[in-house]
Amino acid sequence: MLASCGKDNGENEPGNTEGKDCYVVNFDMNGHGSSIQAEEVEKNDDAKATLPKDPEATGYKFKGWYKDKELTELYDFSSTLTDNITLYAKWKEYKGVPYDTNKTPTLYLAGDSTVQTYADEQYIGGWGQYLGWFLDDNVKVVNAARGGRSSRSFINEDRLFTSTDSAKYPFTENGGKSIEETIQEGDYLFVQFGHNDDDTKSYDDTSYKYERMVPLGTPDENGIYPVVKPQTKVSTTSNLPSDMSDKTKTEIAKYGNEYYEYGEGTYKGYLKMYIDFAREKGATPVLCTPVARVGFDSDGHIKGGPGRHGDDFAYVKAVKQLAEEENCLLIDNFGFSKDILEIATQNFSDFLMAIVPNNLNNGPWPTGYDSAYHNASAGYEKMEGTHYNKYGAYLTASYIAEEIINYDMQGKTVKHGNTVEYFNFVKHILEKPKNYINPSNRLSIAKANEMEALFEEVNSKDPERKYVQPDVAIQAIEALKARGSLDSITSENYETWGTYCKEARDVYESLNYDLRDQVTNLSDLEAYEAKVKSARPQAILTAYMSINDFQSVSVGSTLNGQSKVREGHTFTLVDNTSDAKMQKYNKKGTAFELNGVEYDATDAGILLGGNKDYYIEFEVKGKCEVTIVGVSGGSDTRTIRATSVDNASLAYNFEMSGSQTILTNVFENAGTFRLKSAGSNIYLFYIIIEYFE
One-letter amino acid identity for 287?
Answer: L
- What element of type H or E holds 535? helix 522-535
Contacts within 8 Å (CB) and 24+ apart, 234-243: 234/258, 234/259, 234/260, 234/261, 234/264, 240/210, 241/206, 241/210, 243/206
Residue 401: alpha-carbon gap to chain centroid: 18
Q: Report residues of the chain scoring pLDDT below 50.
A: 1-102
Residue 611: the pLDDT is 66
Cβ atoms within 10 Å, residue 149: 28
Residue of 228, 205, 232 lying closest to 215 (CA atoms): 228
Distance CA 621, CA 634 (A): 34
Q: From residue 116, how far is each of 111, 360, 418, 448, 607 by CA, in Å?
A: 7, 17, 34, 24, 35
Q: Where are the beta strands (DSSP E) in 144-222?
A: 188-192
Distance CA 117, CA 129 (A): 5
The DSSP secondary structure of 36-67, one letter per residue, reads: EEPPPEETTSEEEEEE---TT---EEEBSEET
Residue 36: the pLDDT is 44
Residue 203: the pLDDT is 57
CB distance 251 to 344 below 8 Å: no
Residue 4: the pLDDT is 36
Each residue's pLDDT tens digit, 386-408: 999 999 999 999 999 999 999 98
* Domains in the chain with CATH codes: 22-90 (no CATH), 106-437 (3.40.50.1110), 470-535 (no CATH), 541-691 (2.60.120)
Beta strand pairing status for 36-37 and 419-421? unpaired
Cβ atoms within 10 Å, residue 471: 11
Distance CA 129, CA 291 (A): 15
- What element of type H or E holds 356? strand 353-356
Residue 642: the pLDDT is 95
